[in-house]
Amino acid sequence: MTARLTSEERREIGREARRALPRTAHGSWEPAADRPDPVSLLEEQDRGRLGFLVPVRHQRMRESEFTFFRGAANIMASDLAHSPDTGFEVQLGGDAHLSNFGAYASPERALVFDQNDFDETLPGPWEWDLKRLAASVMIASQHLGLPAKQARRATSEVTRSYREAMAKYAEMGHLELWYDHVRVDDLRDHDQGAGPGFDKRLDRFEKRATKKTSLHALSKLAEKVDGTWHIRTEAPVLFSLRNGPEGYDPDEAERAALAAFEAFKPSLDDSRQALLERYEVVDIGVKVVGVGSVGTRCLVILLQGRDENDPLFLQAKEAGASVLEPYLAPSRYDNHGRRVVEGQRLVQAQSDIFLGWTVGSGSEVTRDFYVRQLRDWKGSADITEGTTANQLAFYGSLCGLTLARGHARSGDPIAIRSYAGRNDTLDRAVTAFAEAYAVQNRRDYQLFQQAIEQGRLEVATEESS
């Protein structure tokens, strides 16, 4: 048997790392002398995507500096590769911005809050997730027009909450930590200055989220044709494989999609497979979602159970290599869909019962996918319109706590807690980094805008999107 380090030895490792790399070292940001052109990085990422959707991606990124930041995970990954590294590895979400946290239904039908996007997940330095999350709060604060002092306070809440949560997780036993999760209803006891009317806003949030079911989606995403439900056509962002764009072979696309669906089933355990076998595939379509993933192949699968009032929508999202992979060790999984799923299962406290992976083979190339339910009480906070400084600070602290739990499950919470310390030194450093990186994001956004104006990047018009 291999001897394990004691808790005190792990604390000392954290203290040694702090001596070697002071927490203040995380407070600076300077672009590398050979920093790649950010527009070129985006163009490189666009090459493997569906050409008719790339202009939609550019349009969504163009809306604001915050939406640009959401779509620019590969740019920040390149930058973080040159940042200080404490040497403590966790399972990174890889794209830990505010909009990639939210609520969804647990298998026990409770509304829980957690990270909900793992397209870029990979083992790596815990600081990378924390810095991207903090930068997203700073950029959101500036988008809202908050004064600099309020923006810094809201941003510092991310690291304060992360640090204090890590201290709590460092004291937990392994099983206690594994079972720990945040229910949305628990937030009523932890509003921590979210402001008046918090409970009412939470009630509205819960009501909206629990309405988002497959049955609710049926009327939004499908229509009856000759007595049978089919995916609606709202090209280019939603269409059935039967009604694809010009040059699209609907028969080949449908055959490939059905084969990929069959290949997905063995990634589930037997009980989930037995449940899924009760459903019949009715239609398969393409649905554009988010910002960063626009242009990747994202299928929506409509299934019917007992009758037409018992639908199930599954989403199959293309999974390519993580944007972190050029700077970290490659994934140990040969299927990037599995990379996403295994990372999500490790980090999330509760995961979708239909979470699995598959592979699709078309006429061009074999592609990896991961599968999950499309709508199962999904809920996310709109933090860019009408949000107060207190509300943003509270939401940032909730995301920081959630991030800490995922890192504690996959890394060494005792060593990280020892490094982070008890005072606000790390909070101030990460906030300073976020403020400096927001300036860099603005510059990159301006270059992005110029590339569109010069015709280098194509952007969709409102009518075509």
> Which of 122-136, 169-183, 249-263, 433-447 bottoms out in mean pLDDT, i.e. has the lowest?
249-263
pLDDT, tens digit (0-9, with 9 covering 90-100), for 62-77: 999 999 999 999 999 9
Confidence of residue 464 (pLDDT cuts 50, 70, 90): very low
Report pLDDT for 383. Answer: 75
Report pLDDT for 226. Answer: 86
Domain ranges of the chain: 7-211+379-453, 214-373
State the average pLDDT over residues 307-318: 94
Three-state SS sequence of the chain: CCCCCCHHHHHHHHHHHHHHCCHHHHHCCCCCCCCCCHHHHHHHHHCCCCCCCHHHHHHHHHCCHHHHHHHCHHHHHHHHCCCCCCCCEEEECCCCCHHHEEEEECCCCCEEEEECCCCCCEEEEHHHHHHHHHHHHHHHHHHCCCCHHHHHHHHHHHHHHHHHHHHHHHCCCHHHHHHCCEEHHHHHHCCCCCCCCHHHHHHHHHHHHHHCCHHHHHHHHEEEECCEEEECCECCCEEEHHHCCCCCCHHHHHHHHHHHHHHHHHHCCHHHHHHHCCCEEEEEEEECCCCCCECECEEEEEEECCCCCCEEEEEEEECCCCCCCCCCCCCCCCCHHHHHHHHHHHHCCCCCCCCEEEEEECCCCEEEEEEEECCCCCECCCCCCCCCHHHHHHHHHHHHHHHHHHHHHHCCHHHHHHHHCCCCHHHHHHHHHHHHHHHHHHHHHHHHHHHHHCCCCCCCCCCCC
Is the predicted pLDDT of residue 36 greater than 80, yes or no?
yes
Let me know: does 394 contact 384? Beta carbons within 8 Å: no
Residues 292 and 319: their CA atoms lie apart, in Å, by 12
Q: Which residue has the tokens 């001897």?
A: 3
Half-sphere exposure of 299 (CA within 13 A, CB side): 29
pLDDT, tens digit (0-9, with 9 covering 90-100), for 81-136: 999 999 999 999 999 999 999 988 888 888 899 999 999 999 999 999 999 999 99
> Which of 36-45, 210-219, 276-285, 303-312 bottoms out in mean pLDDT, i.e. has the lowest?
210-219
Residues 115 and 318: their CA atoms lie apart, in Å, by 19
State the average pLDDT over residues 333-360: 95
Is the predicted pLDDT of residue 337 greater than 70, yes or no?
yes
Is the predicted pLDDT of residue 289 greater than 90, yes or no?
no
Tokens of 39: 């527009």
Greater confidence (332 vs 216) lies with: 332
Let me know: does 344 contact 330? Beta carbons within 8 Å: no
pLDDT, tens digit (0-9, with 9 covering 90-100), for 382-429: 777 778 899 999 999 999 999 999 999 999 999 999 999 999 999 999
Report pLDDT for 117. Answer: 94
> Which of 57-71, 327-341, 364-378 bottoms out in mean pLDDT, i.e. has the lowest?
364-378
Confidence of residue 357 (pLDDT cuts 50, 70, 90): very high
Is the predicted pLDDT of residue 189 greater than 70, yes or no?
no
Residues 103 and 115: their CA atoms lie apart, in Å, by 8
Is the predicted pLDDT of residue 199 greater than 90, yes or no?
no
State the average pLDDT over residues 262-279: 96
Q: What is the mean pLDDT of the chain?
A: 92
Report pLDDT for 246. Answer: 65
Report pLDDT for 326. Answer: 96
- Give the burial string for 219-247 (b: 16+ CB within 10 Å, else e): eebbeeeeeebbbbeeebebbbbbebeee
Confidence of residue 209 (pLDDT cuts 50, 70, 90): confident
Report pLDDT for 245. Answer: 67
Q: Against a cut of 0.85, is the pTM above it?
A: yes
Report pLDDT for 247. Answer: 64
State the average pLDDT over residues 313-339: 96
